[in-house]
Amino acid sequence: MTNESLISQLASIDRLKNAWGLLNKENEDSYGFSGKTIKDFSQDLDSNLTKLSEVLLDGSFRFSPTRAAIIKKDNGEYRPLQIPEVKDRVVLKALAILLEEQLDTLLSKSEGVSFAYQQGKGVREAILQMKANYLQGGKVILKADIVNFFEEVKKDKLLNELIYPNLRDKTINKLIADSMSQKLKLKRLNRKHWGLFKNAGKGIPQGNPLSPLLSNIYLSKFDIQLKEAGYSLIRYADDFIVIFSSEEEAKEGYEKLVALLRDQFSLKIHALGDKNEKTKIVHPAKNEFSFLSVKFDGENVYPGHETVGYLKHIVREIVKKGQLNSQLFASIYDAIEKWIAIYSYLDIERYFDEIDSFVKNLLIKKFGKKRYKITTCSKLAHRRRAKQYDKNKKSFWRNPDLTGLLPNFIRHRFVRNPEPIEASLEAS
């Protein structure tokens, strides 16, 4: 263990470079209120990181105001985001990494129940754990959603009870507090959406690279208490499910969870029976159930049909703009394989015939009624899963604990070095 102060560790060039490397830079035109983009920052990266290190060490670093932005959610509502300057994102990411190290003992107690925003965990792990827990005797699932979670988090409780006591010194305390209270600028946002930010400054700001970790820290004691009480909890940020053996048990559990969240965390969950159905009790074997946009019928987990619709849209655009040549078919295969890669751990076979027929009919419609020899989804899926299996020794396909949870289709058909699949469709 290093003897360096936390601020010295945070300000090290190596840590800042690591934070920059882990920062989401998919959209290089992303910007804060000043308009400076990720691309702009990267063009003088070494100098910018050196300056950040210097101001962090001498105590003159200050977070800049954030830019208000919105994204549309699946239910049609808007999620308010507070987008930091790029330089601030680097510091916030470095801070998140350092805090995760410092609070490892606390966060590790959520192992097996918390799956969001953590290395090596995600939607796939949450869904497979849900299936595993349900198959161990579950009959019904209580699905719950916390009302305005990020806005309702109590900062004092988060900082003074959960974070500060677990830090080795106080050198980054003010920085953490300031990260949760950045000023917000609304000027770049359409005035009709300003009301979404009426609670800005309360709780945890969404859009901040540190916020996901803070949410897990705040709910860590919730995870611990449910684990100790023997509840079958699966939590992904502020969305969670609990698996029960009967509807009566689920209703009783719901009442206890409502009281626990209210009394100890000052949080509410959407009421059971509300029209929005954000909190509900479901019998998956009788009624299709959805969690994290994945469907579950009590036996199989599979992507929603809307994902097939999205794939069809992509393929349709490829065919619309393409010519009947090898590049067109390679592009079609690439689009299908990307879809397969995302959902490979699920029962996607149910959609293969539909997708294969769609591709054939699209080609006939665009290029005439010919006999097309295509590489089927089944073959593409086999290749993609084999690649995932061979990628490294820690591949989820190699995990013996997941043997009964992954699709049967592939478990008996792994190939180490699959034959290359033709990159074109032949017309005769």
Question: pLDDT band at 415, cuts 50/70/90?
Answer: very low
- Report the share of the chain in percent with pLDDT over 70: 94
pLDDT per residue over 268-291, tens digit each?
999 998 887 889 999 999 998 999
Separation CA 416–CA 397 (nearest Å): 13
User: CA gyration radius for the chain?
Assistant: 24
Structural tokens at position 299: 């036996």
- Asked whether the predicted pLDDT for residue 16 surpasses 90, the reply is yes
Please compute the mean of the pLDDT values over residues 386-392 and round it to a whole number.
Answer: 87
pLDDT score, position 73: 77
pLDDT per residue over 202-244, tens digit each?
889 988 889 989 999 999 999 999 999 999 999 998 899 999 9
- Asked whether the predicted pLDDT for residue 422 surpasses 60, the reply is no
For residue 414, report the phi and psi dihedrals to the nearest 5 degrees.
Answer: -65, 140
pLDDT score, position 1: 57
Q: Average pLDDT over the chain, rounded to whole?
A: 90
Structural tokens at position 31: 């910007």
- Asked whether the predicted pLDDT for residue 35 surpasses 80, the reply is yes
- Asked whether the predicted pLDDT for residue 423 surpasses 60, the reply is no
pLDDT per residue over 89-145, tens digit each?
999 999 999 999 999 999 999 999 999 888 788 999 999 999 999 999 899 999 998
- Asked whether the predicted pLDDT for residue 11 surpasses 50, the reply is yes
Chain centroid, CA 335 distance in Å? 21
Separation CA 312–CA 384 (nearest Å): 19
**More reliable by pLDDT, 427 or 262:** 262
The pTM (predicted TM-score) of the whole model is: 0.86
Structural tokens at position 315: 């393929």
pLDDT score, position 389: 86
As to burial, measured by CB atoms within 10 angstroms (0-12 exposed, 13-18 middle, 19+ buried), residue 153 is buried
Among the ranges 24-33, 330-339, 366-375, which has the highest mean pLDDT value? 330-339
Question: What is the DSSP annotation of 370-418?
Answer: --EE---HHHHHHHHHHHHHHH-TT-GGG-GGGTTTS-HHHHT---SSP
pLDDT score, position 412: 45
Write down the residue that tokens 């089944």 correspond to. 378
**More reliable by pLDDT, 97 or 1:** 97
Please compute the mean of the pLDDT values over residues 343-369 and round it to a whole number.
Answer: 95
pLDDT per residue over 129-175, tens digit each?
999 999 998 999 999 989 999 999 999 999 999 999 999 999 999 99
Question: pLDDT band at 353, cuts 50/70/90?
Answer: very high
- Asked whether the predicted pLDDT for residue 47 surpasses 90, the reply is yes
- Asked whether the predicted pLDDT for residue 414 surpasses 80, the reply is no
Write down the residue that tokens 């109590």 correspond to. 154
Chain centroid, CA 350 distance in Å? 25
Closest CA to 184 of 265, 67, 86: 67
pLDDT score, position 284: 95
- Asked whether the predicted pLDDT for residue 378 surpasses 50, the reply is yes
